[in-house]
Amino acid sequence: MSPSDIPEWLRPPISAAAQAILDELEQRDRGATHVADYAQIVVEVDPAAHHRLICTALEEGILGDLWDDLLITMPPGSAKSTYVSHVFPSWYMGRFPDHNIIIASHTAGLAEKWSRKVRDTVACPQHGKLFPGSSLSKDSTAVTRWATTQGGECLAAGAGMSILGFRANILVCDDLVSGWEQAQSITQLTKLQDWFNSDLKSRMKPVAKRIIVNQ
């Protein structure tokens, strides 16, 4: 039970300093438990209604174990990638600092963009307040592959990239199809599917979860 769950009439009078401490603890608990609250506290973005639906779905798979594969499709400009490829992996590495994540996209540059955002967020003081046991390892900070002090790692992968010596608990695929031209080409789509099945999917641990983001 959090302090806010206690009825007002049962709460003893407390000082302003003590109330500030309680508020801080409650905020930390919300941020460590809920992706949307983490987004507000650490990443400093304000989730809209559809973002909160995304955050709830992500929590249900990770904390409630309600799904193994999650497909999210929304129009361009809906900020789905902000929450799936930035906020969520940062929160996940806080909850499970010894786990591994692969962030994949149609180019290595785009995958590295999100990996960089996640890495920098995990290294920021606000993240450390919510997750004292999760911090960036000073020995492994490359944007293509970085690690936490607890042994977890994040790998950025562009479509077609060979992935060796890495097993992941979470796979985030954000726009694996590069655009309309590739989407209309059976040859290119077949090549992408073969890579997904042989290189990417085979890197998943037996209990891994996959998140696919597309338009």
- By C-alpha distance, which of 173, 116, 170, 164 is closest to 142? 116
DSSP class of residue 57?
A: H
Considering the domain boundaries, does residue 37 fall inside one?
yes
Considering the domain boundaries, does residue 1 fall inside one?
no
Task: Give the number of other CB atoms < 10 A from CB of residue 39.
Answer: 24
Give bridge partners of residue 155 from the DSSP assignment.
102, 145
- β-pairing, 100-105 vs 145-148, is unpaired
CATH of residue 96's domain is: 3.40.50.300
Task: Give the number of other CB atoms < 10 A from CB of residue 135.
Answer: 17
101 touches 154 (CB < 8 A) = yes
Q: What is the pTM of this model?
A: 0.87
Predicted pLDDT of residue 181: 83
Give bridge partners of residue 168 from the DSSP assignment.
204
- β-pairing, 168-174 vs 204-214, is parallel
Q: Chain centroid to CA 196: how far? A: 20
- By C-alpha distance, which of 76, 56, 53 is closest to 214? 76
Predicted pLDDT of residue 180: 82
Considering the domain boundaries, does residue 158 fall inside one?
yes
* Number of domains comprising the chain: 1
Coil vs helix vs strand at 143: coil
Q: Which domain holds residue 145?
A: 8-214
Predicted pLDDT of residue 123: 97
Considering the domain boundaries, does residue 2 fall inside one?
no
Predicted pLDDT of residue 215: 75
- How confident is the prediction along the chain (215 residues), in pLDDT tens digits per residue? 565 677 776 777 776 665 555 556 677 778 899 999 999 999 999 999 999 999 999 999 999 889 999 999 999 899 999 999 999 999 999 999 999 999 999 999 999 999 999 999 999 999 999 999 899 999 999 999 999 999 999 999 999 999 989 999 999 999 998 888 888 899 989 999 999 999 999 999 999 999 999 87
Considering the domain boundaries, does residue 164 fall inside one?
yes
Q: What's the token pair of residue 4?
A: 């806010």
Angle between the N-to-C axes of helices 49-62 and 88-95, in degrees from 0 to 180, rounded to the nearest 10: 30
